[in-house]
Amino acid sequence: MWHPTRAQWTIIVSVTLLLVLAWPPDRGRSLLLKITNWIVDPAGALPVLPPPLPMGADDDGDLVAAHDAQESDYYRVRDRSTWTRWRMEMKAASDPFDATTERQLLVGAAALSALAIWRLSRPAS
């Protein structure tokens, strides 16, 4: 019966955590990004940058004023400190690659780690 060594266990646990945390879902963000977003803003108090006004909305003065107020609140909070700016950037962060590319990279990392585990299990000659 095969029993992994300490080095092999380290690789197995590390790669498993990477796969679980970084695997992108069909929609939305990966678990790692969701955890990061929650850590930087657990109460949901940081404002988000409002989306741009739709075409033709510039005729509605109330809508433009509300959008401008939201945008100025965002920049006021953002410019308070470098730490707050970093937290807001982390809250708005998204996965670095397209979901299919990210999955391919993660499967490649899993395959390379399996080869490393196999290599570590060979007896020294």
Where are the chain's structural domains?
6-121
User: pLDDT tens across 2-37, in order?
Assistant: 788 898 899 999 999 999 999 999 888 899 999 999
User: pLDDT tens across 42-81, in order?
Assistant: 998 899 888 888 777 667 778 888 888 999 999 999 999 9
* 84, 77 contact by CB (below 8 A): yes
Burial 9-25 (b: 16+ CB within 10 A, else e): eebeeebeeeeeebebe
CA 65 to chain centre: 33
